[in-house]
Structures are given as structure tokens and as C-alpha cells.
């Protein structure tokens, strides 16, 4: 069987946000409520500056309200809400206000630090603005002045939310209605970076002063075992975005930050690379050899380090010959690079683990750069 070819990024299809879908279903439901006519499609204007047309899956009259639904198309982005049903139930209320709320499958905010107040449905600011605007524009189009209540629902939202960070952020009962552009760009890093920012903000609002930044789920498990006394919101998966996470810790005046990860990504951090995706920058084996030289590793092993294939291979060379001190020095270099990147004011610790969960090295409570030992490649 022929292996399926990966799509070229330039050929990937963009999709639409949950916020755009919620706005479209709201417009369809309101028009049906005003006219009694079901809308097969509706067109809305997106924040990104273009129009988009959405097909309605159903229009249901429920007493004095109308509920419309559409299937979210996330394009080629691996979004957990791809193909989810997004619904809006619209009804008239007394007065002339537009009232927004979340129904089944839309989470509710329970912790401060998010852009939505505690107690409200997790409908982010830009989707809220879109929803208000589409209601007011539609009412004006039909020459009607009435109060409107809009309830956004995602029937599968509670189950989908288990695949997100919502629970840790204090968003309970479902997903968030998101989107600043209205469109979803395939494999965009913006959403991940936004989740890091929100996680730091929530931890700060909860009064936490020691955050643990990890590169993935495995390193997070090791970190949680390392610091069992810390609350869950103190652990943040920064992924490849080390610099972004550190800058947000500095912005929120977090006093202590611990980095937990593995040889590959942290070899890059040590040399001053703060975006550690595999394609962002190569590992500098000459730099690792310099670190080895610092701790007394003989020249023949330094040559092996320079000729190594991967950072893990370097780790094997050091472990095999009993130079465990190398890993501690590498952790120190990570701390120094992080302090340099943030401009100081944070106490840094770094722990490096093997894939099997063995702690290889550590450097703790460093708050200034040792200029003699600091290498950035």
C-alpha cells in the first residue's frame, strides 16, 4: 500500500473558529425568529476582514425561541472541535439589551486571570463582540428594537474539553468559544501560545509564585512527582515556546520558575535558543563539547561529543564515562540563558530527565548569571 503523502503547508485548508460558527448560527436563528423563515446559509463578516458563508445543519423552534446549528470546519488544522456541532438558541427578552450565555458543552469560568470574569460562560472577548455586532446589525436590518438573549451550546463540548487545558485553567463543563480572526490557520502556533499566556495568568491570579514549565506531557509527569506540594495550576506545558513562557512569567512577576525537560530541547535552551522546535535551530555540538571541557571531560570524549548524532547520544557518552556533572552544568547553562532572556528578576531552576524518567541533572535557585561559566554558543 502506497504511503500517503503529507500535504504541503501552502496547500493546507484554513477553517473557522468556534466564535465564527457561534456568530453564524446566532444570525441564522435570529433571522428565523424575526421572519419565521429558516435559513439554509448565512454570511457573516469575520475579524480577519473577509466574508464567510456557513451552512445550517438544522433550525428548531423551541417555544418562543429558535435554535440553529452548524458543523465546525477547522480545515486542515488538528483542532479538537473539528466537526463539532455549534448551536445558538435565540429568544426575545424585555428591554433592548443583548444578553449572552453558554449552554450545554460551553465551559464556565471558575478561576480569575482569564479574559472572561469568573462565573460567566467561556466565550472570549472577540467572539462576544462578534455576537453583539451580528445581533445589533440584524435587528437594524429588519428595523426592530428588542432585547435578545443568545445561548451558545456545543452538545459534545464537555467530552471535547477533556482534550484541552480548560480544566486546569478553571473552565469547567465544556469548551471555550474562541477566535480572534474568525479563521483557523493550519498548525498555527498562536492558539498554543495563547493557552500558555492564559495558564500563567490564571496561576498568578491564584497567588502562585512558583511555576514549573515543562516541554510536554511526559516531562510534566516527572515534574509533578518532583513537586507534589504544588497546585495543578503551577504546572504549565510550554512545549517549544520556552521564551514566550518565560516572558509571561516575568510579565506577571512570578518569583520562581523551574524548567523540566529532556536533553534535546534543553541543549538548545542552554545555548540561548528560546524556540526549541526541531526545525528552529540545530543543536550546537561544539557548544556541548565546550560545556564538557568546563567540567573536566578529556579531549577524546569532547571529540566524541562533537561527532555525536543527537543530544541524547551526548548524554549516553557522558553517562557511560561517569561524567554526570556534565548534566548539572548543562542545567546551569539553561538557567543562565533564561535569566538573560528575561532580564533577571526570576529565580531559576532546571531539571533534565531521560526518556525513562531518570533525573540526569539539576541546577537550583539560580538568580544571576555566572559570566565565567555562561556559554551561549
> For 322-363, how does the pLDDT look when each residue is reduced to its tens digit (9 = 90+)?
999 999 999 999 999 999 999 999 999 999 999 889 999 999
Going from the C-alpha of 165 to that of each of 128, 161, 183, 186, 233, the distances in angstroms are 21, 8, 21, 20, 10
Minimal CA–CA distance to 341: which of 295, 294, 363, 374? 374
**With contact defined as beta carbons under 8 Å apart, do 332 and 363 qualify?**
yes
C-alpha–C-alpha distance, residues 373 and 214, integer Å? 24
Rg value, the chain, Cα: 25
Its pTM surpasses 0.85 = no
Q: Give the pLDDT confidence score for residue 1 in this predicted structure.
A: 37
Angle at which helix 311-320 crosses helix 263-270, to 10 degrees, equals: 100
Going from the C-alpha of 228 to that of each of 137, 199, 267, 276, the distances in angstroms are 52, 19, 26, 27
C-alpha–C-alpha distance, residues 213 and 247, integer Å? 12
Q: Give the pLDDT confidence score for residue 187 in this predicted structure.
A: 61
50 by Cβ neighbours in 10 Å (0-12 / 13-18 / 19+) ranks as exposed
**With contact defined as beta carbons under 8 Å apart, do 234 and 210 qualify?**
yes
Residue listed under C-alpha cell 525537560: 261
Q: Give the pLDDT confidence score for residue 375 in this predicted structure.
A: 64
**With contact defined as beta carbons under 8 Å apart, do 182 and 17 qualify?**
yes
Taking the alpha carbons at both ends of the chain, their separation in whole angstroms is 46
Minimal CA–CA distance to 333: which of 373, 289, 278, 285? 373
Going by the DSSP 8-state scheme, the letter that residue 253 receives in this structure is T
C-alpha–C-alpha distance, residues 259 and 262, integer Å? 10
The ranges of the chain with pLDDT < 70 are 1-12, 78, 186-188, 372, 374-377
C-alpha cell at 25: 448560527
Amino acid at each position: 500500500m502506497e504511503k500517503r503523502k503529507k500535504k504541503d503547508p501552502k496547500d493546507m485548508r484554513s477553517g473557522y473558529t468556534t466564535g465564527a460558527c457561534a456568530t453564524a448560527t446566532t444570525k441564522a436563528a435570529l433571522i428565523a425568529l424575526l421572519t419565521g423563515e429558516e435559513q439554509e446559509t448565512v454570511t457573516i463578516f469575520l475579524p480577519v476582514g473577509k466574508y464567510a458563508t456557513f451552512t445550517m445543519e438544522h433550525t428548531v423552534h423551541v417555544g418562543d425561541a429558535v435554535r440553529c446549528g452548524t458543523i465546525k470546519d477547522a480545515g486542515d488544522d488538528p483542532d479538537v472541535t473539528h466537526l463539532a456541532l455549534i448551536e445558538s438558541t435565540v429568544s426575545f427578552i424585555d428591554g433592548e439589551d443583548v444578553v449572552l450565555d453558554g449552554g450545554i458543552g460551553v465551559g464556565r469560568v471558575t478561576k480569575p486571570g482569564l479574559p472572561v470574569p469568573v462565573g460567566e460562560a467561556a466565550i472570549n472577548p472577540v467572539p462576544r463582540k462578534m455576537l453583539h455586532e451580528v445581533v445589533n446589525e440584524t435587528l437594524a436590518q429588519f428595523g426592530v428594537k428588542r432585547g435578545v438573549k443568545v445561548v451558545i451550546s456545543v452538545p459534545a463540548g464537555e467530552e471535547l474539553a477533556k482534550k484541552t487545558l480548560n480544566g486546569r485553567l478553571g473552565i469547567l463543563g465544556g469548551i471555550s468559544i474562541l477566535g480572534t480572526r474568525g479563521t483557523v490557520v493550519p498548525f498555527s502556533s498562536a492558539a498554543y501560545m495563547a493557552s500558555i499566556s492564559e495558564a500563567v495568568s490564571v496561576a498568578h491570579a491564584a497567588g502562585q509564585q512558583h511555576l514549573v514549565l515543562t516541554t510536554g506531557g511526559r516531562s510534566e509527569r516527572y515534574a509533578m512527582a518532583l513537586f507534589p506540594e504544588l497546585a495543578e495550576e503551577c504546572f504549565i506545558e510550554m512545549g517549544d515556546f520556552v521564551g514566550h513562557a518565560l516572558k509571561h512569567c516575568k510579565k506577571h512577576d512570578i518569583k520562581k520558575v523551574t524548567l523540566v525537560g529532556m536533553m534535546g530541547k534543553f541543549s538548545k535552551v542552554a545555548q540561548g535558543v528560546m524556540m526549541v522546535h526541531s526545525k528552529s535551530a540545530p543543536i550546537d555540538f561544539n557548544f556541548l563539547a565546550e560545556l564538557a571541557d568546563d567540567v573536566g571531560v578529556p579531549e577524546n570524549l569532547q571529540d566524541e561529543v562533537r561527532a555525536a548524532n543527537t543530544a541524547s547520544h551526548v548524554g549516553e557518552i557522558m553517562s557511560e564515562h561517569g561524567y554526570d556533572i556534565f548534566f548539572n552544568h548543562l542545567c546551569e547553562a539553561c538557567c543562565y540563558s533564561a535569566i538573560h532572556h528575561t532580564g533577571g528578576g526570576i529565580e531559576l531552576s532546571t531539571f533534565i530527565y531521560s526518556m525513562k524518567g531518570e533525573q540526569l541533572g539539576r541546577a537550583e535557585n539560580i538568580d544571576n548569571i555566572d559570566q565565567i561559566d555562561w556559554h551561549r554558543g
